[in-house]
Amino acid sequence: MPLPWSSRRWVLGRVCGYQLHAKSRIGLSWVAPAGLVLEEGASIGHFTVCKGLDLVHLKENARLGHLNWVTGFPASSPSILFRHQADRRSEFVMGRHSAVTQRHLIDCTDSVTIGDFSVVAGYRSQIVSHSVDLQYSRQGAGPVVIGAYCFVGTDSVILGDSRLPDFSVLGAKSLLHKVHTEPYHLYAGVPARPIKQLQQSSKYFTRTVGFVD
């Protein structure tokens, strides 16, 4: 921790086998997945925790902000939990120019994927990929996919086995609990449903850089 970032990057690469681009950066955070890939321009802010995952992969210019909590349950665990899901991978993948702002909780018991140019905005949103399977009385997990050029409003909840389509918005305080397929829509409510169609020409959906000033 007291070392400058260039030295920490060298140690993390040599000792942990992480793939960290020279122009990537990790702030003062606890980041300890089994595998870590940070592409050019990718960054993790201060006081963020990433632990218990098979893989964290931030693609070009992706930003995981401050004070986020990203945890998982690795497939290699000897625990009996999730043993019936042989294909499960505890992964967190952020696409090019995507962003997670700050103070969010992301459970990657199963994979969580955020598409290119998408933003998990505001504060206190929760992505929870596992729950209790009542039929079989056991823990179960399902993947979460947030498509490309999406916007997730503040204080939302996204559950396992759900998908927000490309070019879509999830309204603030909404609950996404299943797969949706129609792009260019505002989804909102508890549970979320398509509320209105969005203009395909909106500049948010055509921008070439992730940061919105």
Span 8-53, pLDDT tens digits? 899 999 999 999 999 999 999 999 999 999 999 999 999 999 999 9
| Cβ-contact 41, 60 below 8 angstroms | yes
Side chain identity at residue 1, one-letter code: M
CA distance 203 to 167: 11
Angle at alpha carbon of residue 75, lines to 62 and 25, rounded to 5°: 25
Q: How do strand 185-188 and strand 193-197 relate by DSSP bridges?
A: antiparallel
> Is residue 175 included in any domain, yes or no?
yes
Report which of 26, 97, 93, 101 is spatially closest to residue 53, judged by C-alpha positions. 93
pLDDT in tens, 128-168: 999 999 999 999 999 999 999 999 999 999 999 999 999 99
> Is residue 18 included in any domain, yes or no?
yes
* Domain CATH for 20: 2.160.10.10
> Is residue 46 included in any domain, yes or no?
yes
User: What DSSP character marks residue 168?
Assistant: -
Residue 181 is part of which domain span?
Answer: 5-78+87-202
pLDDT at residue 1, rounded to an integer: 62
> Is residue 210 included in any domain, yes or no?
no
> Is residue 122 included in any domain, yes or no?
yes
pLDDT in tens, 57-94: 999 999 999 999 999 999 988 888 998 998 999 999 99
| Cβ-contact 97, 119 below 8 angstroms | no
Burial of 14 by CB count in 10 Å (0-12 exposed, 13-18 middle, 19+ buried)? exposed
Region 113-131: mean pLDDT is 97
> Is residue 173 included in any domain, yes or no?
yes
- Give me the sheet containing 19-20, strands edge to edge: 19-20, 35-38, 55-58, 91-94, 112-114, 144-146, 162-164
> Is residue 151 included in any domain, yes or no?
yes
Burial of 201 by CB count in 10 Å (0-12 exposed, 13-18 middle, 19+ buried)? exposed
> Is residue 211 included in any domain, yes or no?
no
When divided into structural domains, the chain yields a total of 1
